[in-house]
Chain A
């Protein structure tokens, strides 16, 4: 049962991070003639991460988290990640309008016309406020 708990898995992931930090830190000087080297501080917080994550792995609570609704959140995150990834090629207007359309139409199940109007309005608002009023460039 413990092996399935979120504390166990998050502890394991953080232990991997701690291990990575310690291995990297050992490759840098710990002490130099001028004092502590670049490996000094990372080695200690890396060891701290290892110790705390080991505590979570072995003594973390067993109760599972409530993951209801996580699908909606992760789908929104995926849409955000895709819109950021394609920004370079399609520009802010198109990618952000698509993201807004997705949130309104798919996540909140509003009619496509409403979603399209919200997407258009939000993008137009951003162009009016940032490049026109504030002189801030959009991606």
Chain B
């Protein structure tokens, strides 16, 4: 199927009234969770995952993806009005966005963030549409060794960019692999790490771990502070939210480079939207004629990172849908959602499920338009979300988590596990262990073990199969080089600088 025919088919799916409604619900929820500091898209998607079991998969995927990219629009609002990023991808927007708000230009900052997000988000979807089908065709040649190498490469990239300490990121990944290994071995029916509990024979449900670590862990971390932050006022009226023609001219390069950088970074596993936004901000500053003014309220300093973090979404869906390899915590949860509904993301995904793939692509075009409409005139309304008392919000998150888990499994044992993983998520934050590698290790653990064992069965036990095939040899070499980077001081100092910027 060619791209034009696919897109027409996709719009036929996405424009069905029910799917339009789910798209709207997704982007609306995404905007709200993006605005709320302390409630990110992975937590929200994980909490809603059990409820989507009741839905049509196309509608459910359209809604969850809407939350994913909608949150990136919403995140800028909090950065600009509160100097607190609504989600991690909007960290860098605080620098110039909040400075603009303090100078009385909050409206222009919010407006340019929405426009940049729309342009780059649309370019990202265009990239997804053009790159995913040929990549899927190329990946048809992959067998078990290539898949194992690809997963090892993906995990090593996540380890490289997930936290300051690669040892901790690696440990988180390995613990994720261990949790994935709990239960009955499918090859030999041996029960592993079940501690004599019948409930563990079928393994630990991914949703329990994801909700525990992201949602409960986040609530616990946010409970540490008793004070609630103060919000700057939002100008009322659409005219006050529209940037001037001069603003738009100043942002032309930011729109273009943010779109391209965001998409390319998104395709790489592990890098994610936070890194994309920092690279784009850095490039904008480096090529700007007024680079010394960056950080004091320069409009391009808002447009570039906001564009990049939205374009990244399209890029991140490329390896997820064509190779079955997620690059971040959120895409790992989307992968789990697809598996939960009975799909197998990988090279055959587009060919076997054209309605779902093209419907998703078309819904993202529509969702970006909805977000532009929602985020320009209605941003003062959304800003009111920031005034929701946290003592109402946190019990709601805990309640949805409990009901979501119980609704999916009907097991009180899973609720105990939920509490345990919530504590683990909180401790990981306190002890500076990144959570994304654990989630990725958990999601990929079963497939990785299966691919490795199948590879060794093909080669009658010889590990040489992993290095004698060119694609797997190249990817495993990259993975080894990535894990050895800390030994090379020059590259490691670059990595640490990038992560310091990400954390600042």
Contact = CB atoms under 8 A, between A and B. Distances in A.
Interface of A: 6-7, 10, 14, 17, 21, 24, 28-29, 31-32, 34-38, 40-42, 45-46, 48-49, 52-53, 55-56, 60-61, 65, 67-70, 72-74, 76-77, 80-81, 84-85, 87-88, 92, 96, 99-100, 103-104, 107-110, 118-119, 122, 126, 130, 134, 136-139
Interface string B194-233: 0000000000000000000000100111011110000000
Contact of A65 (B219, B399, B412, B431): B431
Interface stretch (B168-176, B331-339, B474-482, B492-500): B168-176
B171 A41 contact: no
Nearest to A104: B391
Given A49-B175, A73-B221, A84-B416, 4 more contacts: A37-B188, A42-B192, A80-B216, A126-B399
Interface stretch (B29-37, B99-107, B282-290, B418-426): B418-426
B231 to A, nearest CB: 18
Contacts, number: 173
Nearest to B225: A69
B177 A24 contact: no
B166 to A, nearest CB: 9
A130 B177 CA distance: 34
B467 interface: no
Nearest to A102: B395
Q: Residue among A31, A96, A118, A136 with the most chain B CB within 10 A?
A: A136
Contact of B223 (A55, A99, A107, A122): A107
Contacts of A46: 178
Contact of A28 (B190, B219, B224, B454): B190
B430 interface: yes
Given A73-B221, A104-B395, A35 B456 contact: yes
B134 interface: no
A63 to B, nearest CB: 10
Given A6-B431, A52-B174, A134-B54, A99 B395 contact: yes
B178 A21 contact: yes
A78 B406 CA distance: 19
> 5 tightest A-B contacts by CB?
A69-B224, A35-B457, A100-B395, A38-B185, A108-B391
20 contacts: A14-B171, A17-B175, A24-B193, A35-B453, A36-B456, A36-B457, A40-B453, A42-B181, A60-B165, A61-B165, A73-B220, A80-B216, A84-B402, A88-B412, A100-B399, A118-B392, A126-B399, A134-B51, A134-B54, A137-B406
Interface string B433-470: 10000000000000011001110110011000000000
B378 interface: no
Contacts of B449: 41
Interface string B379-394: 0000000000011101
Contact of A77 (B185, B403, B426): B426
A18 to B, nearest CB: 8
Nearest to B219: A76
B326 to A, nearest CB: 19
Contacts of A107: 223, 226, 391
Nearest to B458: A35
Contacts of A68: 224
A118 B432 contact: no
A24 B396 CA distance: 40
B174 A45 contact: yes
Nearest to A109: B226
A123 to B, nearest CB: 8
B410 interface: yes
B448 to A, nearest CB: 8
A122 B174 contact: no
Interface string B284-304: 000000000000000000000
